[in-house]
Amino acid sequence: MNFEYAERINRLPPYLFAEMEKIQKEKKAQGVDLISLSIGDPDLPPPDFVVEALVKETSDLKNHNYSFSQGEPIFREAISNWYKNRFNVDVEHDQVIALLGSKEGIANVARAFVNPGDKVLVPDPAYPVYANGSAILCDGIAVPMPLLEDNNFQPNLDVIKPDNVRMMFLNYPNNPTAATIDKNFLRQVIDFAKDNKIIICYDNAYSEITYDNYRAPSILEIPGADEVAIEFNSLSKTFNMTGDRIAFAVGNKHLVTGLTKIKSQIDSGPPVYTQKVAVAALNTYKNCEQPEFLHKNNKILQERRDLLVNTLTKLGYTCKTPKATFYVWVNCKGDSMKFAAKLLDVGVAVTPGVGFGKHGEGYVRITFTQPKERIQEACNRITNAL
Q: Please report how close the Cβ of residue 12 comes to ligand PLP at its closest, in angstroms.
A: 17
Among 53, 89, 229, 247, binds ligand PLP (CB under 6 A): 247
Q: Which is nearer to ligand PLP, 105 or 140 (CB)?
A: 105
Radius of gyration in angstroms for the set of CA atoms belonging to the chain, rounded to a whole number? 21
Among 72, 124, 203, 208, binds ligand PLP (CB under 6 A): 203
Write the binding mask 6 to 45 for ligand PLP: x where contact by CB under 6 A, - elsewhere: ----------------------------------x-----
Strands (E), the chain: 35-36, 96-99, 119-124, 141-146, 165-171, 199-203, 229-234, 247-251, 327-331, 348-349, 351-352, 363-367
Residue 203 or 231 with smaller CB distance to ligand PLP: 203
Half-sphere exposure at residue 56, Cβ-oriented, CA atoms within 13 angstroms: 11
Q: Under a CB-based contact definition with an 8 Å cutoff, are residues 237 and 209 in contact?
A: yes
Among 42, 71, 101, 357, binds ligand PLP (CB under 6 A): 101
Site track for ligand PLP across 119-138, x = CB under 6 A: --------x-----------
Give alpha helix (H) positions in 202-291: 225-228, 235-238, 253-266, 272-282
Distance between CA atoms of residues 71 and 219, nearest Å:
22
Residues in region 38-97 near ligand PLP by CB under 6 A: 40
Query: Looking at this protein, which amino acid is placed at residue 314?
Result: K
**Residue 39 beta carbon to ligand PLP: minimum distance, rounded to whole angstroms:** 8
Site string for ligand PLP, 144-183 (x = CB under 6 A): ---------------------------x---x--------
Following DSSP, what letter does each residue of 21-72 receive, concatenated? HHHHHHHHHTT---EE-SS---SSPPPHHHHHHHHHHHH-GGGGS---TT--
**How far apart are CB 179 and ligand PLP at their closest, in Å?**
12
Tell me the site size for ligand PLP, rule CB under 6 A. 13
Is residue 102 involved in binding ligand PLP (CB under 6 A)? yes
Maximum separation of any 2 CA atoms in the chain, in Å: 60
3-state secondary structure of 6: coil
Which residues are at the interface with ligand PLP (CB under 6 A)?
A: 40, 101-103, 127, 171, 175, 203, 205, 234, 236, 242, 247
